[in-house]
Amino acid sequence: MSDATATRPASRGAGMLRRIDPAVAASFGCIVLLLLVGSLYSRSFLSPDYLLQQLKVASFLGVIATGMMLVILLGQIDLSVPWVVTSGAMMACAAAAHGTTGAILAIPCGILCGAAIGLLNGIGVAYLRIPSMIITLATNAVAQGLMVAYTGGFAPQDSASKAMRYLATGNAVPGLPNAVLAWAIIGGAAIWLLSRTTFGRAIYAIGNRERAAYLSGIDTRRITMLAFALSGALSAFGGVLLAGYASKAAQSMGDAYLLPSIAAVVLGGTHILGGRGSYLGTIAGVILITLLQSILSVMQISEAGRQLIYGAVIILMLLIYGRQKA
Amino acid sequence: MTEWRYWLAEQRGTLLAIGIFVAMFLIYATNHPAGFSANMVQTASNKATLLAFVAMAQAIVVITAGIDLSVGMILTLTNCLASWIVVGTATETALGVVGVLGTGILCGMINGAIVIFGRLQPIVTTIATGAMYYGVALMLRPNPGGAVNETLADALTGRLFGVLPTSLVALAATAVLIWVPYSCSVIGRAAFATGSSEVAAYMSGAPIRAAKFMAYTLAGLLSAIGGLFLTFFSYTGEAAYASGNAYTLFSIAAVVLGGVSLMGGRGSAIGAIFGALAFRTIGDLLFVFDFDPLWQPLFQGIVLMLAVSIGAFGLLRVRNRLEWFG
């Protein structure tokens, strides 16, 4: 993991080339391929408006996939995404219904709810040593139960606050949607966190071999717990953005984000058993998945066909370059 | 004497599951408003057997240290298929049943082939194939509907000799015909060995690939039996995403309650059956005590969470902290 090549200025160019992960290159290649296929189908596919719209849709998945990536790098998985997304959205909307104070606190409230569920996951995985797949499924069920009890089983009536709607649909910088900006900031923070801080280094170390990381003096349990809390917060933030985009929360809004977020991270070359992967790959994976979904819907393929092709394409891409070492 | 103690230690999880089920069922039956009757047992067992079939499927895969997150979707797919082909004369119905079971086996074989020969992680693979199976289910039944041979359906959901629920008999027969021969065979032993330590199993020359393939195939078959019974109970086919997911989730809960180790190598499908029965009974306790049904998802979630936290007590016995990291 040491960047020996980066310190030698003469071979920096060659070093950059060598450092590019084949999986990342492959997923960027697939993006270009998808764009070409799309442009054969419809001319407007390469127009800046359409591409910007795709980037905006991708930013919701991007925010959620960032949290998923932190957890996958640890060698764990977070299956509580669907109802954490929904809880974040619903709680933010619920807070927004309480006058001006509520409207101000809506976004932090949503994110904090997600972080709390994530913290619960983290405590379960790190301190109680429960397999992450199981504890996150359980917290997903608990979050679902809480939300069903809260809404009474009906679609909630509260709508998103102005700030949430502005965050998801507005343009602070002309021509650049705020959602994309939010993803860019979170993505930048993730890159900094993963490559420039001890926290990020510790995540990679734990993903490679937790025992070794522990013996080198890393408090592996605290790092794991924090990563899960971050993942919960980011999922909930994705939910807040989605609620702002649709201007209200809905019961099953998070269901469509579990498989895509895992697929985006894994397609981007992050090893599913942890310890290896770059955020650049996750960006590629997110854009790839969004484009794939968009092309399938532009071609007016039914929901059934979309699910089928979508599952098949993910398996196929993973078979091509995501295989475990034998 | 010592042999008897070994057997007890091996079956501890299963026995515990039976104990939990008996205790829960006693509370349920004694507080049931209609009292303890053949009718009540029939209704309860019809509901619980569906989950029990899926839980058996999950247990067989979990024993090889894998996981199958597509069991619920195989159930949904076979349910939709059965609502088309399990109709008409006796011969047609019989062919239809064979077709449904064959589809389940095929789905399981696809999972197995991708996991073994494609060397992809079971969790990612089965999430993706689950999406594909759901796509096919949606193609078969865009809207809920269809029919089933009602004579057969009534026969299999009714009572034998007026007291014994037929579904329970079918469940026991499946366990005896599939699980017992499987767990005693060389392949079944290899499955346990693979789950305990794949490297050691390989070194001992156990047929690892055949064992894993068999496990996924049997999981497909058992899920298909579950789908068939779902059709017999509901008389229709429905491609319901939420209920498919719920079956997958609850199957994991049932497996954990049933004393199957999620690390693989320990447990039995019999334990999983009792885990499923116990889980369903716990869920229904709410109705007996007249709570609002809205609280049921939350209650089930909390039960699931407590069930998975039981394993954490093992941490108290750990002498060396490095054992935390498995």
CA-to-CA dists, residue A236 to A193, B11, B173, angstroms: 19, 42, 46
Q: What is the DSSP string of B67-136?
A: --TTHHHHHHHHHHHHHHHS-SSHHHHHHHHHHHHHHHHHHHHHHHHHHHHS---HHHHHHHHHHHHHHH
Measure the CA–CA gap between A243 and A109, rounded to whole angstroms. 13
Q: Chain B window 132-191: which residues touch A at a Cβ cutoff of 8 Å?
A: 132, 134-139, 142
Band (pLDDT 50/70/90 cuts) for residue A48 is: confident
Torsions phi, psi for B139 (to 5 deg):
-65, -40
Among candidates B121, B128, B309 on the partner chain, residue whose Cβ is nearest the Cβ of A314: B128
Give A275: exposed, middle or buried? Use CB within 10 Å, 0-12, 13-18, 19+.
Answer: buried
Tokens of A135: 């504890």
Give A91: exposed, middle or buried? Use CB within 10 Å, 0-12, 13-18, 19+.
Answer: buried
Does residue B221 carry a pLDDT above 90? yes
Substitution target in A125, A139, A142, A320 with the highest count of B β-carbons within 10 Å is A142
Task: Report the relative pairing of strands B159-160 and B164-165 from DSSP bridges.
Answer: antiparallel
- pLDDT reported for residue B299: 84
Say whether A142 and B305 touch across the interface (CB within 8 A).
Answer: yes
Query: What range does the domain containing B113 cover?
Result: 43-310
Residue with tokens 């969790």: B123
Which residues is B160 bridged to in the sheet?
Answer: B164
Q: How far is B8 from chain A (nearest CA, A)?
A: 25
Tokens of A236: 């909930």
Tokens of A107: 């976004």
Among candidates A133, A303, A326 on the partner chain, residue whose Cβ is nearest the Cβ of B138: A303
- pLDDT reported for residue A7: 44
CB contacts of A324 in chain B (<8 Å) are 119-121
CA-to-CA dists, residue A314 to A22, A276, B195, B313, angstroms: 17, 20, 27, 39
CB contacts of B310 in chain A (<8 Å) are none
Does residue A239 carry a pLDDT above 80? yes
Report yes or no: A23 at the B interface, CB cutoff 8 Å: no
- Residue % of chain A over a pLDDT of 90: 43
The chain-wide mean pLDDT, for chain A, equals 86
Q: Is residue B54 part of a domain?
A: yes
Overall average pLDDT of the A23-43 stretch? 84
Closest to B226 measured CA to CA, from B46, B21, B20? B46
- pLDDT reported for residue A15: 61
Q: Which residues are CB-contacts of A295 (< 8 A; sequence separation ≥ 6)? A: A34, A37, A38, A41
Cβ B191 vs Cβ B207: under 8 Å: no
Torsions phi, psi for A136 (to 5 deg):
-75, -30
Q: What is the DSSP string of A61-130?
A: HHHHHHHHHHHHHTT---TTHHHHHHHHHHHHHHHHTSHHHHHHHHHHHHHHHHHHHHHHHHIIIIIS--
Closest to B286 measured CA to CA, from B15, B32, B16, B1? B32
Q: Is residue B178 part of a domain?
A: yes
Cβ B131 vs Cβ B105: under 8 Å: no
Cβ A325 vs Cβ B143: under 8 Å: no
Among candidates B121, B124, B325 on the partner chain, residue whose Cβ is nearest the Cβ of A210: B325
- pLDDT reported for residue B44: 81
| Torsion angle of C-alpha atoms A197, A199, A200, A205, degrees rounded to 10 | 130
Report yes or no: B324 at the A interface, CB cutoff 8 Å: yes
Measure the CA–CA gap between A309 and A299, rounded to whole angstroms. 12
CB contacts of B125 in chain A (<8 Å) are 315, 318
Does residue B9 carry a pLDDT above 50? yes
Cβ B273 vs Cβ B52: under 8 Å: yes
Q: Is residue B29 part of a domain?
A: no
- The residue type at A295: I
Overall average pLDDT of the B33-60 stretch? 85
Tokens of B175: 């366990």
Q: Which residues are CB-contacts of B32 (< 8 A; sequence separation ≥ 6)? A: B40, B288
Substitution target in A255, A265, A307 with the highest count of B β-carbons within 10 Å is A307
Say whether A139 and B305 touch across the interface (CB within 8 A).
Answer: yes
Band (pLDDT 50/70/90 cuts) for residue A25 is: confident
Q: Chain B window 102-141: which residues touch A at a Cβ cutoff of 8 Å?
A: 114, 118-121, 123-125, 127-132, 134-139
Q: What is the CATH number of the domain that holds B202?
A: 1.10.3470
Chain segment B119-140, per-residue pLDDT in tens: 888 888 998 899 999 999 999 9
Among candidates A309, A311, A326 on the partner chain, residue whose Cβ is nearest the Cβ of B129: A311
Overall average pLDDT of the A226-245 stretch? 95
Q: Is residue B32 part of a domain?
A: no
Among candidates A141, A262, A326 on the partner chain, residue whose Cβ is nearest the Cβ of B300: A141
Q: Is residue B249 part of a domain?
A: yes
CB neighbours of residue A50 within 10 Å: 15
CB contacts of B304 in chain A (<8 Å) are 137-138, 141-142
Provide the 8-state DSSP code for B235.
S
Q: What is the DSSP string of A46-67?
A: GSHHHHHHHHHHHHHHHHHHHH
- pLDDT reported for residue B217: 96
The chain-wide mean pLDDT, for chain B, equals 87
Closest to A231 measured CA to CA, from A147, A110, A119? A119
Among candidates A128, A137, A152 on the partner chain, residue whose Cβ is nearest the Cβ of B252: A137
Say whether B123 and A252 touch across the interface (CB within 8 A).
Answer: no
Say whether B123 and A128 touch across the interface (CB within 8 A).
Answer: no
CB contacts of B137 in chain A (<8 Å) are 304
- Of all residues in chain B, the one with the smallest CA distance to A121 is B305
Task: Work out whether the CA dihedral A249, A255, A260, A263 comes out positive or negative.
Answer: positive
Q: How far is B2 from chain A (nearest CA, A)?
A: 32
Q: Is residue B271 part of a domain?
A: yes
Measure the CA–CA gap between B175 and B253, rounded to whole angstroms. 19
Measure the CA–CA gap between B105 and A19, rounded to whole angstroms. 44
CB neighbours of residue B322 within 10 Å: 12
- Number of CB pairs < 8 Å for A and B? 162
Say whether B297 and A148 touch across the interface (CB within 8 A).
Answer: yes
Band (pLDDT 50/70/90 cuts) for residue A6 is: very low
Cβ A68 vs Cβ A265: under 8 Å: yes
Q: Chain A window 261-290: which residues touch B at a Cβ cutoff of 8 Å?
A: 262-263, 266, 272-273
- Residue % of chain B over a pLDDT of 90: 41
Report yes or no: A318 at the B interface, CB cutoff 8 Å: yes
Measure the CA–CA gap between B80 and B244, rounded to whole angstroms. 12
Q: Is residue B220 part of a domain?
A: yes
Q: Which residues are CB-contacts of A152 (< 8 A; sequence separation ≥ 6)? A: B294
- pLDDT reported for residue B110: 95
Cβ B48 vs Cβ B170: under 8 Å: no
- pLDDT reported for residue A64: 96
Chain segment B247-273, per-residue pLDDT in tens: 998 898 889 888 888 888 888 899 999
CA-to-CA dists, residue B280 to A33, B164, B179, angstroms: 49, 19, 22
Measure the CA–CA gap between B50 and B225, rounded to whole angstroms. 9
Residue with tokens 């750990």: B318
Report yes or no: B88 at the A interface, CB cutoff 8 Å: no
**Could you give the count of Cα atoms lying within 13 Å of B161 in the half-sphere of its Cβ?**
3
CB contacts of B307 in chain A (<8 Å) are 138
Which residues is A173 bridged to in the sheet?
Answer: A176
Q: What is the DSSP string of A138-194?
A: HHHHHHHHHHHHHHTTSPP--B--HHHHHHHH--SBTTB-HHHHHHHHHHHHHHHHH
Tokens of A52: 């910007």
Q: Is residue B161 part of a domain?
A: yes
Per the structure, the count of domains in chain B is 1
CB contacts of A144 in chain B (<8 Å) are 297-298, 301
Closest to B210 measured CA to CA, from B227, B234, B189, B229? B189
Report yes or no: A83 at the B interface, CB cutoff 8 Å: no
Among candidates A145, A273, A319 on the partner chain, residue whose Cβ is nearest the Cβ of B300: A145
ipTM confidence score: 0.79
